[in-house]
Amino acid sequence: MNKVAHYLQEHLSGEVLTSQDARRHLSCDASILTVTPSIVIYPRSESDVRKATRFTWQLAERGKVIPITARGSGTDLTGAALGEGIMLVFPAHMNKILELDPKTGGVAVQPGVNFGKLQQTLYTHGRFLPSYPASLDYSTIGGAIANNASGDKSVKYGATRNYVRSLRVVLANGEVIETRRISKRELGKKLGLGTMEGDIYRAIDGLIEENKDLIEGSVKDVSKNSAGYAIADVKHKDGSFDLTPLIVGSQGTLAIVTEAVVDTEPHVPSTSLMIAEFDTIESASEAVLKLRASSPSPSVLEMVDQNLLNFIDENNTNQLKGAVDKPFSKVMLFIEFDDAKHQKKAVKKAGKIIDSLGGKYAVETDMDQQDNFWKIRESVSTLTSYSKGETRHLPIIEDAIVPVEQLPAFVNGIYETFESLKLDVAIWGHIGDGNLHVMPLLNVGQVGDRQKIFKLMKTYFSMVISLGGSITGQHGDGRVKAPFLVEQYGQDVYALFEQVKSAFDPHGILNPGVKIGVTENDIKPLFRKDYSLAHLYDYLPRL
């Protein structure tokens, strides 16, 4: 064991490991990259996080930088849960639900709480956290906060950033601070602090005051966005100020979350589900626009395309048995209403919209029967876990988002981009948000396919950016997509992101190589020889 690990072992109450198997186990997330940490820590308390961070800060002041990467369950699709230095793994010990306030619905949690378990607990209190990712059963709330995760209900409720009320975080120098929305007067006090917290408030407030127009102009016209840092959400017109939106979505690059209070919503278990089929993407998109505008609006508005259904039919035909008949329509929409009082009215209105656009539909209110419909949407797991030789469907351009008005151009652009590279494509995802999933079938270990990966990313992201979209609506830019941040935001806004990073982390200790300062050449050497989700197989949906 090296000196640093030995020192940490002496001073922390959580386990400190340097064994090859522990390091190897944590050398992959769900991305196409691999990085092996040198030290693995399972912190038992905030004090452990503080001590480890304080120690690395002192070393960095003497010129030796040891990166720290926080980790939940390692389901990150962008390489952001990887690091070559110290890895702080939260689910082992810091996994408690601390308090649920029945009056406000706010729940205090440690970062390593499993999202699915939190959700089950909330259900028993008649509440839920609607920004859950599809991976909730095998991922943590800390990871969801750090990634600004979102999922199928986000079309109505928004992403995780909307639900984080306050945070307790350890800063790069080991200082512990709490963030929440504070008044103009409270901000005045923070600006006067002689601590690192004060430095951060002064730097961020100064940056916002000096770049108001630039920041305002940088906001994308999309319903959710996990790219860059959310500077525009920090300071409101009334002078109130909150560092929380910056830390949410920062993928462990600004601070380490040790506690969070998240808001929840009342849970209405009985819903109405509609399945609608359309022959063109234009009519389906028109339906999406109208459904979003109608009241009550859908709580879920998802899609799968014909190519996806054909793929499932070829590779796991039983999954579609009794749920959908051939020939498959061009686009299938899943429309759910969870409004407690007006579901019937909502379904009637939606039916009229679908009829007027030449679509056909079915409605289901019985929960068991709804499962039959949901299994069509969930059949995507056949595609995401498919392998042929060493080829896999790879997460590289998997969660771009565009303004919903641009959906037809986006979908046609996807088909054209893949065709130009002679690649097959299937599309699914959160059409109500303009946030669609695609994963090309490639061999990450083959030189020719690696070249295709970069070619595809360039063409694809240029198309998304030209439509006013964002390279990531859900999973973050991490390492894989970070080289495209400059193209999305331009050099001036990117320079603001760099300033945010250096205000929080002047020595580059917190998850370096993620989000900021990442080039194509930085990620090339990190490619895995083969792609797998081996560390998640106990949890992935069964086919």
Ligand X SMILES: Cc1cc2nc3c(=O)[nH]c(=O)nc-3n(C[C@H](O)[C@H](O)[C@H](O)COP(=O)(O)OP(=O)(O)OC[C@H]3O[C@@H](n4cnc5c(N)ncnc54)[C@H](O)[C@@H]3O)c2cc1C
Residues that bind ligand X (CB under 6 A): 29-30, 69-77, 80-81, 90, 111, 133-135, 139-140, 142-144, 146-147, 149-151, 251-252, 256-257, 384, 474-475, 511
CA atoms within 13 A on the CB side of 338: 17
CA dist., res. 474 & res. 147, Å (int): 7
CA dist., res. 232 & res. 245, Å (int): 9
CA dist., res. 522 & res. 513, Å (int): 8
Reduced to 3 states, what is the DSSP secondary structure of residue 210?
Answer: helix
Q: How would you classify the pairing of strands 127-128 and 265-266?
A: antiparallel
CB of 78 to ligand X, least distance (A): 8
> Among residues 73 and 488, whose Cβ is nearest to ligand X?
73
Give residues with Cβ within 8 angstroms of 74, minimum separation 6: 26, 28, 29, 30, 81, 535, 536
> Among residues 280 and 386, whose Cβ is nearest to ligand X?
386
Q: Where are the alpha helices (H) located in 78-149, listed in sequence order?
A: 115-124, 141-147
> Among residues 252 and 359, whose Cβ is nearest to ligand X?
252
> Among residues 255 and 276, whose Cβ is nearest to ligand X?
255
> Among residues 144 and 222, whose Cβ is nearest to ligand X?
144
> Among residues 68 and 231, whose Cβ is nearest to ligand X?
68
Q: How would you classify the pairing of strands 86-89 and 39-42?
A: parallel
Mutual angle of helices 407-420 and 281-293, in 10-degree steps: 150
> Among residues 8 and 383, whose Cβ is nearest to ligand X?
383
Q: Which residue is nearest to ligand X (CB)?
A: 143
CA dist., res. 154 & res. 436, Å (int): 13
Q: DSSP class of residue 541? A: P
DSSP codes, 324-356: -PSSPPSEEEEEEE--SS-HHHHHHHHHHHHHH
CB of 233 to ligand X, least distance (A): 18
> Among residues 339 and 433, whose Cβ is nearest to ligand X?
433
CB of 352 to ligand X, least distance (A): 31
Distance of CA 498 to the CA centre of its chain: 21
CB of 42 to ligand X, least distance (A): 13
Q: Where are the alpha helices (H) located in 219-253, listed in sequence order?
A: 244-247
CB of 69 to ligand X, least distance (A): 5
CB of 128 to ligand X, least distance (A): 15
Reduced to 3 states, what is the DSSP secondary structure of residue 138?
Answer: helix
> Among residues 133 and 413, whose Cβ is nearest to ligand X?
133
Are the C-beta atoms of residues 400 and 464 closer than 8 Å to each other? Answer: yes
CB of 13 to ligand X, least distance (A): 17
> Among residues 164 and 414, whose Cβ is nearest to ligand X?
164
CB of 111 to ligand X, least distance (A): 3
CB of 355 to ligand X, least distance (A): 31
CB of 507 to ligand X, least distance (A): 17
CA atoms within 13 A on the CB side of 104: 11
